[in-house]
Amino acid sequence: MDASAGGGPPARTPAYAPPMSFFAAQGYVTLLLGLAVLAVCVFALVDAVRRPAGAFAAAGKLTKTKWVAILAVASLISFAGLGGLGLIVISLVAAGVYLADVRPALRSVGGGRSGGSGPVGW
């Protein structure tokens, strides 16, 4: 006998259906944090690629090749989410060291753009 025909108890609807479970919200927050780490790593990588190789030596830092390799691996790890949270944090630390220590040193020795936003004369 079919329950809709009156033979069984009526279907129960939940009194409260939360719009999103805690675990779904946690997943979205993790995704946003992962995307933020990826953005920081890619920004640092692009910045390192654009700097002249001689500026790294003049600033007394690792070579450009080593920094580009470190930041490329960090970007790949953060993109793929390899190794879970631990390696993603290491990726963020690598990009943070570059942005907080190496990049200002490269700027101080003149390793990069001179501050203009376009070609000379704009």
Residue 49 within any structural domain of the chain: yes
User: Residues 11, 13, 14, CA angle at the centre, nearest 5°?
Assistant: 145
> Residue 87 belongs to what domain range?
36-110
**pLDDT by 10s per residue, the chain, length 122:** 555 566 667 777 666 656 678 888 888 888 888 899 999 999 999 999 999 999 999 999 999 999 999 999 999 999 988 667 788 899 999 999 999 999 999 999 986 654 545 455 45
pLDDT at res. 7: 65
Number of domains in the chain: 1
pLDDT at res. 116: 47
Q: What would the two tokens of residue 24 be?
A: 């779904």
Residue 26 within any structural domain of the chain: no
Residues sharing a CB contact under 8 Å with residue 91, sequence separation 6 or more, in sequence order? 37, 41, 73, 74, 75, 77, 78
Residue 15 within any structural domain of the chain: no
Residue 52 within any structural domain of the chain: yes
pLDDT at res. 64: 96
Is pTM beyond 0.75 here? Answer: no
pLDDT at res. 27: 82
Residue 29 within any structural domain of the chain: no
DSSP state of 4: G
Residue 31 within any structural domain of the chain: no
Residue 60 within any structural domain of the chain: yes
Residue 102 within any structural domain of the chain: yes
